[in-house]
Each structure stands twice: as structure tokens, then as C-alpha cells.
Amino acid sequence: MTIPTVTITVSDNGANAALQVPQSNVQVVMGCSTSGTVAVPVATTNPNTLQTTFGYGPLVEAAGLVCQAGGTVIALRLTTATAGTATSVVATTPGSSTSVLTLTLDGTYGAYDDYYVRLLCTTGGTRGVAGIQFKISLDAGRTYGSIISLGTATTYVIPNTGITINFAAGTLVAGDYWSFSTTAQTWDTTGLATALTNLANSQYGVQGWGSLHLVGVCSAATVATLQTDIQALTTSKYIFSRAIVEARDALAPVAWGGSGETESAWISSLGTAFSATDAKRVCVGAGYYNMPSAFPTSAAGLPSYRRPLSWADAVRRVLVPAQRRGGRVKDGSLQNIVVDPSTDPSDGFIYHDERANPGLDAARFMAALTWPKKQGFYICQENLMSATGSQFTELVLGNVIDVACAIGYATGVSEISDDLRLTDSGTLYPTDALTIQNLIDQALANGMTNVAMVSDAYSSVSQTQNVRSTNTIPITITVNPRGYVNAITETINLEA
């Protein structure tokens, strides 16, 4: 005997590719942190719960922004496979300080997160002698905390960062400063696969979620693996989801211990790296911007960290329905991104504007742009890394088809092992076929059409399949999505 099953096949230009619709304000966030049980999902709407449970690191920071916006987070800690790193310290000493500053990182996690650290001496003195005072910034000097007295110590531990600053013998002079950058602890695809499996096997795999945000830089190879893992969930667990991930930033500016990279070189490098990627279940964001943290720090105030565009889009996704583009102008600019027009253009970092320097959108990345006469940054397109020719070019189209798949499974599985009438030729009795069709159509209407998720969605139950010999009922579900406005043309006339 064959085990009863429901098979969902998504048609994409002719190629194979609980009935409750997952709520769009529920988001899975996966990433590294310094505490908490690995690969065990924890749901919360409270940023403080995240920090209490998971400590510090990219997982907590990204999920905290979603909770702060009013979303519900299902957080999963990933195993730290590679500890965070730091560049060498760059000294800027017009006052001729002689003490050399070096770094020691946490032995397990290294640097907990991505920081651009600056130590600014406010009161000079000799190392080991009380008198030296300084301020710390974790966001490239945009925000400083209160003045810190070094006293007679020779080291300073920046709280909750994994960073210790070592002061060699010598002097510090007021006005001199020292800068360096760090890269966060990272996971690997083995740990990611374990977390996805645990998530799918949990109660949340049954209830579903609105979106999934993977925190941490993804290479093209990682995206390909993620595509395989998420696609496998559609057949093994009937879970239909898409992931929002981040590509790398441009290399750190020289002033922050990096080698520096031009915007054009960075765009070209990303385009080349992902040119062969085929991942219709993954939206890869490119571009980094300043975003205030949800968590004040004791040493550096409330930093505006440099964060991936994907973080801002992930917040937007819990605020809008599945079918709505993250870049809809009516919804306003991305509120997590803060812009300082007086300092941003000259601070050495790249703030990519797809309108001014196109290239990422054409390479299938999610990019940001500005609109003339509008403040802030907007999503250009939430592109999926789909192969050329795919119908699933953007996240919202994938979202609505995933909802249809969830409804199709939930209604289809209710018919398993049912007894239905057949005609003499073995096909479904027309009335019974229409009964099933009406049940599916009503579910599609309730979950999609009647809530303005799609223009229309309907089903067709085969009346030609020989059910007596195959024990299978073929059902086709067709989704007509909403229309999306990409351009406006206006003609202005003077009345004659």
C-alpha cells in the first residue's frame, strides 16, 4: 500500500519548481549570540527578553529592532563557528600620545558584533597614573557614551562587546583618538541546517510564520545551500517560506583599519560572485546604513550601528501584509535608517543609492534608493535570486504563492482517505469534484482574495483522472497576483 500524501508542485513558467494563513507580523530571526540554547526557537515581542535569553550579538540586535517595531520574533541562536575578529588599531595623535593601544578579544566568541570603535581621549595623562579619561564610540564616532576614567588600570573592557583595549606604557593626550573595526561572530551551514530542522519540527513549523531573516553575511555558496534547505521543507514538512539575507559590505575604510574599497569595485565584486546563483526562495540585500540599536549600552550610549539593508527590510516586512512591496512609497522611507546629511557624505563609508549608482538591482540584489523631494531611503525592489526567466522575480510574488501552497495543502490533506463517488469510467463524480473545488475556492477566498492579498485565486479539480486506478486527484490552483506600479508617466498641458 502507498502511504497517503499530498504533493504540492509550484509551476514556474512550465518548470517544476493548518489552513490559518501565517501572520505577516511574525518573523523568524536566526543568527549568532553569546548565550541561550542553540537551535531552540524562542518566541517573544519583548526586546528585553531577547537580551536576557540570548545575551549579545547580531541575533539579539536584529530581532530587537523587529520587536521594537511591534513584531513577534521567533528567535533561534546559531552555533558560533568562527569567532569575531578585529583590525589593527589606527592611531590619530596630533597631540603626540605615546601609549600604543592593542586589542584582546573574547576567547570564545571574539568580537560579539560588527563595531566601528573609537576611543577619544578627553583628559590626558600617563598610563598607570590616575588622570586619563576618555569616551567610547561603537558606531564610528556618531555616538559617544559618558566619560570613562581609566584610573591606574592598563586595560579597559568595553562591556558586552568581547573587546578589551590594552594600553602600553606612555601618555595619552586630550584630543587624540584611536580607531578600529570588528567583524561579528559567524555561523556555518551545518549549524543553519540544524536550526532549520528544529524550527520545522517545532510548534512553529505547524503554525507557520510570515517571514524569515537570516542574520550574518551570506556568500553565493551559502545562499545556494540555504535555497536547497528551505526548498526541502516544502516537501518534507509542507512549510513554504522565503529568506531575507545579507551580502557583504564594502571593505572597511582605511581610517577604521580596513583596506578600503570603492563603491564601483564593491558592486562589481558582488555581481560577479552571485552571477550564477539560482535561489528563488532567497532575497539577498546589498548595502549598509546607520540604524539605531534597540539596546542602550553602558559605555557608548545608544549607538547607530552600520547595519545591512536587509535588517531594515526585515522590520518593514512585519509591518506590511505579505503581498505589499517593502518599497511602497506610501508607507514612507525605511524608518530604521537614519541619515545625517552633514556628516554621512564625508565619513568614508558607502551609502549606496541605486538611483545614483545603479547596478545592484540589475544583479538581482535588493537595493535601496532615494526619491527626489522625499527624505530617507526606500527599497528599490525586494528581488529574489531567481534564474532568468523565472516568474518569481520578487519577494511579494513568492509570498503570495507560498500562502496559496499552505492553503492548498491544508484543504487537500482534509480529503485524504475520504470515500468519494466515481463514474463508471473511474473518474470523480462531477458533484463530488465540484464539492472539493468549492471548498478550496472558499479557503482561497477567505485567506487571500477577500483580504486583498491577490486579485483572484481559484482551483480546478480534475474530472478526467481515473481515480479508481490511481487513487489520486489532480487539483490545479491558479493565483492572479496584485498589480505593482513600476512607473508613472504624466503629461502636463497648458489649457489653450
Q: How many CB atoms lie within 10 A of CB 37?
A: 11
Q: Is the pLDDT of residue 5 over 70?
A: no
Q: Which three cell numbers stand for residue 259?
A: 583596506
Domains within the chain, CATH numbers bracketed: 18-81+186-379 (3.40.50.11780), 85-183 (no CATH)
Q: State the average pLDDT over residues 460-477.
A: 96
Would you state the pLDDT for residue 10? Answer: 42
Q: Is 424 helix (H, G, I), strand (E, B) or coil?
A: coil
Q: Is the pLDDT of residue 202 over 50?
A: yes
Confidence of residue 21 (pLDDT cuts 50, 70, 90): low
Q: Is the pLDDT of residue 8 over 60?
A: no
Q: State the average pLDDT over residues 231-239.
A: 94
pLDDT tens string 402-425: 999 999 999 999 999 999 999 999
Q: Which residues pair with 456 in a beta bridge?
A: 480
Q: How does the average pLDDT of the chain come out, rounded?
A: 94
Q: Is the pLDDT of residue 17 over 60?
A: no
Q: State the average pLDDT over residues 486-495.
A: 94
Task: Show contacts of 301-304: CB within 8 Å, 24+ apart.
Answer: 301/143, 301/144, 301/145, 301/146, 302/143, 303/137, 303/138, 303/139, 303/142, 303/143, 304/139, 304/142, 304/143, 304/338
Q: Is the pLDDT of residue 7 over 80?
A: no
C-alpha angle 299-301-302 in degrees, rounded to nearest 5: 135
Helix (H), strand (E) at residue 15: strand 15-16
Confidence of residue 23 (pLDDT cuts 50, 70, 90): confident
Query: Please, are residues 340 and 289 in contact by the beta-carbon 8 Å criterion?
Result: no
Would you state the pLDDT for residue 207? Answer: 82
pLDDT tens string 313-367: 999 999 999 999 999 999 999 999 999 998 898 999 999 999 999 999 999 999 9
The DSSP string of 22-56 is: PPTTEEEEEE--SSS-BT--EEES-HHHHHHHH-S
Would you state the pLDDT for residue 496? Answer: 84
Helices 47-54 and 58-68 meet at what angle, rounded to 10?
160
Confidence of residue 22 (pLDDT cuts 50, 70, 90): low
